[in-house]
Chains A and B, each alone.
Chain A
Amino acid sequence: MKQVIKNVLTDKQIPLLVTILWTVVFTLALFFLEQSVLAFMGVLLSLLLVYYTKTSNAVRLTLGVLILLVLIPLVAGDNRYYMEVASQVGIYVAMALGLNIVVGFAGLLDLGYVAFFAAGAYAYAIFATAQANEFIPGDLFPLGGEWFWPFLIVGLLVAAVFGILLGLPVLRVKGDYLAIVTLGFGEIIRIIFNNLDHPVNITNGPQGLTPIATPELFGYPLNTPFYFYFIVLFVIGFIVLANIRFEHSRLGRAWIAIREDELAAQSMGIPLLNTKLAAFAAGASFAGVVGVIFAAKQTFIDPTSFTLMESIGILVMVILGGSGSIPGVVLGAAFVTVLQVQLLKEFSNFLHALNTSGVISLPNQLDPSKFQRLIFGVLLILAALYRPNGLIPAKRNINDLEEIKKSRFAKQKLGILANLDESKRQTS
């Protein structure tokens, strides 16, 4: 027992048995206790436990997929509220993973990220409502729900184009300036969306767009949070895969080199602007896909959903979780979203209940659910002061030189050296 506790605390490794027990207990609790927030939190937390479990990768992956695809839908599936929270968490996880490419890998602080999200959301919303009839003649719109699927790609492309267009001028500045400029661009985009109801009515201005068609699959409407949960999971799977592939690709290593030292990277022959643009476009395109899902899920969008607050919120998720670290970002996004949409609300309700029963008297202005900014602020300061690398810092691959020397490729010479050998053999 002592050994187990020591393992958990020092090596952060949890025995498989504990993880399974935890998951089973909380799943059963969620099944039997209706509306138990604690139990739901426990089930979500079990994913973190799985991450730290001391077992092979394959087993951990299977466990995680099992919890996400089978346990959660099975136990909480008929509860709209839980699925709503879960799909909301998913949407933010996906966005944070997109921003992770820009901030975490390439080190470009982007404070206008929500603009790309807006681009994706509006791309779908304009054509999935009657809005497009305002500027395209022929009464062709709204498009039906089966168009949702191709529009996932359209949203991706639109946002990527946006990313490149914004990136071209913006990326010539760096550091703090980049943060301010992207922030300004985010605001510009919001103002434009807010005012594009004249002279040609494209976005319907502050009134927003509704009703946006819900997705359909083979004529069957997918209109409950239950289905959106799976759509979001599918997209997250795709984005995580892309993140992992990017990280270890040539481009990904170029991003990390730029993040560490721009000047050194440039002198090693990395084209600065192209590489940064690629990061901007990749991050933006993921936000665009998520925007399409968001528009379809809410069936209503207006410019107030795309404020600076949202950009900062996503940034908080990335920084708090650990920028550049995929599990960290997922944890950060899940934590911040659950805090926002569930914990604060529950706490508010709890205080309300105390208020009405007369135990305490609290003025209405002290409602905790209104303190998003305060909590974000405190989280940002604390993260900067105490965990500048995040909750789960990004791991660096450490190359073991001895191991490399022993490997069967060690004798083989590459590049100029190989040519040298070749020419030596020819001359002798």
Chain B
Amino acid sequence: MLSILPQVLIDGLTLGFMYAVVALGYTMVYGILEFINFAHGEIFMVGAFVGTEVLLISESLGILQEMNPFVAFLLSLLLAMVVSGALGVGVERVAYRPLRGAPRLVALISAIGVSFLLQDLVRFTEAVARNEFYLNSPTLFSGAIGIGDFAQIPVKAIVVIAFAIVMMVTLTLFINKTKWGIAMRAVAQDQSTASLMTINVDKVILLTFLIGSSLGGATGVLFAQNYGTIDPYIGFILGLKAFTAAVLGGIGNIRGAMVGGVLLGLLESLAGAYLDTLTFGVFGSEYKDVFAFSILILVLLLKPEGLFGEAVKEKV
């Protein structure tokens, strides 16, 4: 039973880092607008499709075989980030900005609408272009590094974790060190005061969506590399899990999102592997999604501010 543990931990870490990067997108938007960007999971999905399409097209053109896998990977990552970033900005402009003063329920409904629209649009485009909407991504990194007899670390997992860490570190530096980062933190504190300090709030919000969405899109490429198959509906459940991770770590808190994501990935992976044996076969690994949602509910009930968040007193 314990012999598979190292492998389970490696899988959990890979999944967890992906949750963490997607959770950053939720947390950033929530930190600034206090609003759950329901469509963020779909932006992740679009990123996965763009990245995979880049690889598939260059494969059919015969360029991929001659390219260094890292170059091909970077290229698809870059394009996916550009497209999903632009998409995020567009969604904000069309579906969220006109509703900024409206009740939160209305904005949430619009976000759900965007998410459904994107799912079907991607399915539609893929169905027309390729006659199917389940895509198999070409694997760039095969092979694995063995650690003794315990476990095999796949190269793709290392790439995924490395890129996730690079993205998170860059974002942290950006937010803490640059002028725009400071402006973002100021807007998150208080929009009207920030605007009095000659900060263009609209631009900062657009920038937040741009960064969050392009990170989400990049994670989509990592996801496609790691799991091989993608479809237009991967975003919704993964988005929910990433949101759970953000809540777990304390929503609005960048560090919390990272820790929450890794923690949730590890927990889910462990549950998938051991739930069966621990409950003597009553609950199988099919209940691992139930596990993630139960964590969400428990956290919201017991410690709604999350692991790293500060308790917010309601103002009257």
- Taking beta carbons and an 8 Å cutoff, which residues of A are in contact with B? 107, 109, 169-170, 172-173, 175-177, 179-181, 183-185, 187-188, 191-192, 194-195, 199, 263, 308, 312, 315, 319, 363, 365-366, 371-374, 376-381, 383-385, 388
Contact = CB atoms under 8 A, between A and B. Distances in A.
Nearest to B130: A365
B23 to A, nearest CB: 13
Interface stretch (B148-156, B183-191, B292-300): B292-300
B65 to A, nearest CB: 30
B282 A181 contact: no
A312 B243 CA distance: 19
Contacts of B293: 184-185, 187-188
Interface of B: 35-36, 94-95, 98-99, 102-110, 112-121, 124, 127-128, 131, 236-237, 240, 243-244, 247, 281-282, 284, 286-287, 289-290, 293-294, 296-297, 300-301, 304, 314, 316
B240 A183 contact: yes
B124 A381 contact: no
A365 B116 CA distance: 18
B292 to A, nearest CB: 8
A374 B300 contact: no
Given A184-B296, A199-B281, A365-B128, A383 B109 contact: yes
A176 B113 contact: no
A374 B116 contact: yes
7 contacts: A188-B294, A195-B286, A308-B236, A373-B117, A374-B120, A381-B110, A385-B99
A173 B284 CA distance: 29
Given A180-B36, A185-B293, A109 B108 contact: yes
A319 B128 CA distance: 32
A261 to B, nearest CB: 10
A312 B131 contact: no
B290 A192 contact: yes
Given A191-B290, A199-B281, A380 B105 contact: no
A207 B199 CA distance: 59
Contact of B296 (A179, A181, A371): A181
A107 B289 contact: no
A181 B243 CA distance: 11
Given A185-B293, A377-B120, A176 B112 contact: no
B34 to A, nearest CB: 9
Contacts of B301: 169, 172-173
Contact of B109 (A187, A319, A371): A319
Nearest to B241: A184
B286 A380 contact: no
Nearest to A386: B98
Contacts of B131: 363, 365
Contacts of A109: 105, 108
Contacts of B106: 384, 388
B282 A199 contact: yes
B119 A373 contact: yes
